[in-house]
Amino acid sequence: MKIPTFSRPEIGSIPLTLIVSAYLLVVTNITFWSRTAAAFSSNKTSLLAFSVAISLLTICALVTLSVRYVVKPVLILCVLVAGFASYFTDTYGVVVDKEMVESAFVTTGAEAGHILTPHFVLHVLVFAVLPAILIGLVRVRHRPFLQKALRNLALILPAFAVALVLIGYNYAAIAFVARERKEVLNVFNPAAPLSSAVRFALSAYKEVDAVVAPFGTDARAGDRLAAEKKPVVVVVVAGETARAASFSLDGYARETNPELKALGVVNFANTSSCGTATAVSLPCMFSGYRRTEYSESKAHTRQNLVDVLTHAGVNVSWWDNNTGSKGIAKLIDYAAINGRQNSPLCHEGECLDGIFLDGLDSKLATIKHDSVIVLHQLGSHGPGYFGRYPEAYRRFTPDCRTDELMNCSHDEIVNAYDNTILYTDHILASVAKLLAKHENTISGAMIYMSDHGESLGENGIYLHGAPYAIAPKEQTHVPFISWFSPSYARTMGLDTKCLLAYSDAAMSHDNLFHTVLGMMNIQTDVYNRELDAFAPCVARS
């Protein structure tokens, strides 16, 4: 019996490249074309010129690489990257930038599971894997090198010339969009995500041999801290994906902060974040750099807030219920508590933030030395908001009960997210109550800042991670809350009534470093009183 053989279809390298270019431009760039149309809505001529020019430049780039041993890997890489990225741009309206690439590399399996939904898998199979297989199956005809080079140039040179002419005649409009409407080119597939991946790889390579410079080694306990007989304890809660727009303390109409309201906390209602993703904001918050000065390389090559506190003799510990400290806690006591198997608060590699509370109670009962405890929350991280709160805090219903937000109404998404804020309210209030419970043996205070906010569908954008220059306020306006025990306020000469009157002042992540140093009465040359949010209400010793 003769076994039938499979005859692979054959195609020239240039026709294959043109087909793949058309696929990438038409199928994987729906969001890009939508934003392009909006950006050039008042100038149809420039819209047409820009569209033709970027299409021609895409073709030129791919045809340039349509040589033997290169064309197939390049085209397969392009359709895979564009297929993956288009899911996030088309479904959530987010940008696959360097920070998102970094987040993908450091995410936990449990967190990734909220993204790997049936809809995501189907999208990737249809728009990434299937085209890649088809490219791999075809046999590509190649001419001798010189002939190929001449034929490629015969296409590239006129196409490139036409693109330049179109851009040149419409330069003002196109330059304006490229400069002021960055949300357009930031979602162009596969160029934007490939560029982001390269930038991430380069930064990661530079960090391999990075040397961490000492910082704030002159730090010492101030007079107030030295004179206090009880240990001073500050709990720093690093929030996750909590936006001020959903905090009733910040003016949200729905009551999402009943417990904190009852405690009479100090709330700074006008606070902005350093970034829109944890990978940027968290190290920035603790770095001692202002947002305008901050860079990832700077953060990884200099000690940070927790190290300065350690230099002053303060015991510092970091408890993580998220994806790690992003390098902040390398030199201090660190505990990842989100992998516990024996707690009803933990499920499939994730724990509710209530996991902090029993351990904190025990810790506070045994503290004998001035201490700072950092609690890094899981908070309100999406898209699986419904998994961030227990049934008892499922107050706003119907709530979205799936990771696939596109299957929920806007009201259901908002309800689920608001439940996460309600639960964070409970966690923060519980931390304050535990500090108050142990006031006979410690002088305690709490400070809370979220790392970034979240978009819940406003203007078609979901989740977070938008480039800061174009990020909506929902992603950059964050809550900043503090609580002080009476003994702590007395020890540090803090006038809480003054703080309440001062709470409308503009604050940012720039303030956290210096505010925590001030809260612990640490004396050091790296402390800047002007950036200490509480300093105006602290009596000089």
- Among residues 246, 260, 238, which one has the least CA distance to residue 512? 238
User: Is residue 215 a part of any domain in this protein?
Assistant: no
Q: For residues 256 and 300, which has the higher predicted lDDT (pLDDT)?
A: 256
User: Is residue 87 a part of any domain in this protein?
Assistant: yes
Residues 198, 312: one domain?
A: no
DSSP character for 370? -
Mean pLDDT on 210-229 = 93
Residues 31, 85: one domain?
A: yes
Residues 138, 255: one domain?
A: no
Residues 283, 182: one domain?
A: no
Which secondary-structure segment (H or E) carries 221? strand 220-221
User: Is residue 212 a part of any domain in this protein?
Assistant: no
Give the domain-ending residue among 206, 238, 262. 206
- Whether residue 449 contacts residue 478, with contact meaning beta carbons closer than 8 Å, is answered with yes
Any idea what the CATH number is for the domain that residue 464 is in?
Answer: 3.40.720.10
Residues 198, 290: one domain?
A: no
Give the domain-ending residue among 177, 206, 235. 206
Residues 438, 366: one domain?
A: yes
Residues 156, 270: one domain?
A: no
CA distance from start to end of the chain: 98
User: Is residue 3 a part of any domain in this protein?
Assistant: no
SS (H, E, C) 100-132: HHHHHHHCCHHHHHCCCCHHHHHHHHHHHHHHH
Compute the chain's Rg from CA coordinates. Answer: 27
**C-alpha distances in Å from residue 34, one per residue of 38, 197, 420, 534:** 6, 24, 32, 46
pLDDT of residue 117: 85
User: Is residue 213 a part of any domain in this protein?
Assistant: no
Q: Tell the residue number behind the tokens 């499939």, with chain if given.
A: 348
User: Is residue 165 a part of any domain in this protein?
Assistant: yes
For 60-65, the CB contacts below 8 A with 24+ separation are: 60/155, 60/156, 60/159, 60/160, 60/163, 62/17, 62/20, 62/21, 63/14, 63/17, 63/18, 63/152, 63/155, 63/156, 64/152, 64/156
Q: Could you report the per-residue pLDDT of 3-27, keeping only the tens digit for each?
A: 555 677 889 999 999 999 999 999 9
Angle formed at CA 136 by CA 130 and CA 138, multiple of 5 degrees: 105
User: Is residue 211 a part of any domain in this protein?
Assistant: no
Other CB atoms within a 10 A radius of the CB of residue 433 amount to 14
Q: In this model, does residue 446 exceed pLDDT 60?
A: yes
Residues 69, 164: one domain?
A: yes
Q: Could you report the per-residue pLDDT of 84-115, keeping only the tens digit for each?
A: 999 999 988 888 877 777 777 766 666 667 77
Tokens at 122, concatenated: 């189907």
Other CB atoms within a 10 A radius of the CB of residue 23 amount to 20
User: Is residue 4 a part of any domain in this protein?
Assistant: no
**Proportion of the chain above pLDDT 90, given as a percent:** 78
Number of domains the chain is built from:
2
pLDDT band at 354 (very low <50, low <70, confident <90, very high): very high
**Proportion of the chain above pLDDT 70, given as a percent:** 96
- Beta partners for residue 372, in sequence order: 234, 316
Residues 139, 45: one domain?
A: yes
Residues 136, 201: one domain?
A: yes
Q: Could you report the per-residue pLDDT of 137-159, keeping only the tens digit for each?
A: 999 988 888 888 899 999 999 99
Which residue range forms the structural domain that includes residue 140? Answer: 10-206
pLDDT of residue 3: 56
**Which residues, at least 6 apart from 296, have a Cβ–Cβ distance to it below 8 Å?**
203, 280, 283
Give the domain-ending residue among 154, 176, 206. 206
Mean pLDDT on 333-348 = 85
Residues 243, 338: one domain?
A: yes
Residues 467, 390: one domain?
A: yes
Q: In this model, does residue 120 exceed pLDDT 70?
A: yes
